[in-house]
Structure 1
Amino acid sequence: MNKITPDIDSATDGRSARWQAHRSQRHEELLKLARKAVHKLGPQVSMEEIAAHAKTSKPVYYRYFGDKEGLRQALGAVVISDFRDSIIAAGLAEGDEAGALRAMVTAYLELAKGSPNLYFFVTAQTPDVLTAPDRAATGSTGVLNAFFDEVTSLMNERLSAHFAAHTLTPSNATALWPRAALGMIRSAGELWLRQPDAPGKPSLNELAEALSSWLTHGISTNSRS
């Protein structure tokens, strides 16, 4: 009996490991298919439409993600992680503070423009993430807040370096600037994404330049004589 038990346990562990690997692989596959469905069909896409686009059944998605919000959270974690990697890298790659800000704004706009449908899907229902992060601690909202925390920390470092380089003393309100700046970038970017392509719509580079200028020098720097 004692000789058989280890073999039984080993076989059970092997089956369990294979099942977990299968579930993990299927989970990733369903996420990729959902990402394509949202990109093509829009942020208001239903679970039924996502399942149909993936050529599977709606219960399969419910089994793996619970509901649409669970799918949004899982997909958001992946997409926002991509945002994080690109934007942080852009900010770190620039030597001067103004260049770092512009690079981060540009990276943000480029990623959002790459798939506005996906962007709006994963950032839906997160109005408090910038002004009340303590009320947004789970799911894709939690990931988004962690991302904003990291960007805020990087902006604070660059801001401190700017003040030190110019022998300036920050005011008490300066600590609010990074999160306020992120709110402005996000709001302007989303307004821009929703604008139809038509004469008069700023290009991505024009908007990135304008936002960077507004945040560092004020609105008057973009006025035309």
Structure 2
Amino acid sequence: MIRHPDTADAVRRGPGRPKGGQVLASREQLLDAAERVIAEQGPDATMEEIAAAATVTKPILYRTVGDRAALVNALSEAMIDRISTAIGDALTGHTQPREQFEAAVRGYLSAVDADRNLFLFVNAGRQETNELRRLVDRSATLMIELFTAAPGLQTPTTAQTWAYSILGAFQVVTVMWLGSDYSDRNTIAADLTALLWPGIELAGRAD
């Protein structure tokens, strides 16, 4: 979790601020509070619980961060950043395309495993179509780069189609895995690779 100054260090009442000297928190502090509550209480955490954890009123939370959909969007960005970093780290040292793909899957699952409740929270929230499309594009960036470098998948449209399709598969598998822990993440990464990589190779040979 990205650390920010404690809520107690937030700016106190000034002109036009709520009466009673109530502590006000920055957007970053409120997002940190949201992550703490979600991590502790699960993906069903409410806006009321988040406001209470940040020691602000719900109207202040809404004014500073936005409604639940806005909170989901903001935390989705944080989740995507962590997944992208984990995938990039996992790719280090791998040069063969299949190995890179499986390493990327392991990196993805590792990041999700580290922030399980956050992943479930952001994926349970409803997002506007344009916002959802933007977040999917962000999530697909590394996969598109990986596929574009693979033989036979150099065209941007092919790489995008594969990346979006695989993200959809990851999404469903991950949600079911988090709900039951039916296998370990390395086995799931190997299974997903065994399922998806032959299709990628076939597409390469077809071109």
**TM-score, with normalisation over the residues of structure 2?**
0.72
1:111 match = 111
Q: Distance in 2 between matches of 1:96 and 1:64?
A: 46
1:144 match = 135
RMSD between superposed Cα atoms in Å: 2.9
| Local SS of the residue matching 1:213 | helix
| Local SS of the residue matching 1:123 | helix
1:137 corresponds to which letter in structure 2?
Answer: N
What are the equivalent positions in structure 2 for 1:2-21 lying under 5 Å apart? Answer: none
More helix by share: 1
| Contact 2:29 2:54 survives alignment (8 Å) | no
- TM-superposed CA distance for 1:85, in Å, is 2.4
Q: Deviations over 1:128-177 (max 9, x none)?
A: xxxxxxx8332xx35522223313422322432xx49xxxxx9x988743
- TM-superposed CA distance for 1:182, in Å, is 2.2
| Local SS of the residue matching 1:95 | coil
| Contact 1:155 1:178 survives alignment (8 Å) | no
Q: Deviations over 1:95-143 (max 9, x none)?
A: 111111111111111111112210011223469xxxxxxx8332xx355
Q: Distance in 2 between matches of 1:53 and 1:80?
A: 24
Query: Residues 126 and 174 of structure 1: is their aligned pair in 2 closer, same or farther, counting only changes over 3 Å?
Result: same
| Contact 1:110 1:204 survives alignment (8 Å) | yes
Q: 2:169 aligns with which of 184, 191, 195?
A: 184
Q: Distance in 2 between matches of 1:174 and 1:76?
A: 23
Larger Rg: 1
Q: Distance in 1 between matches of 2:57 and 2:190?
A: 46
- TM-superposed CA distance for 1:86, in Å, is 2.1
Which moves more between the two structures, 100-109 or 181-190?
Answer: 181-190
What are the equivalent positions in structure 2 for 1:55-204 lying under 5 Å apart? Answer: 55-91=55-91, 93-125=93-125, 136-138=129-131, 141-160=132-151, 163=152, 176-195=161-180, 197=181, 201-204=182-185
Query: Residues 181 and 77 of structure 1: is their aligned pair in 2 closer, same or farther, counting only changes over 3 Å?
Result: closer
Unaligned runs of 5+ residues in structure 2 are: 1-24, 200-207
| Local SS of the residue matching 2:86 | helix
**TM-score, with normalisation over the residues of structure 1?**
0.66
Unaligned runs of 5+ residues in structure 1 are: 1-24, 128-134, 165-169, 219-225
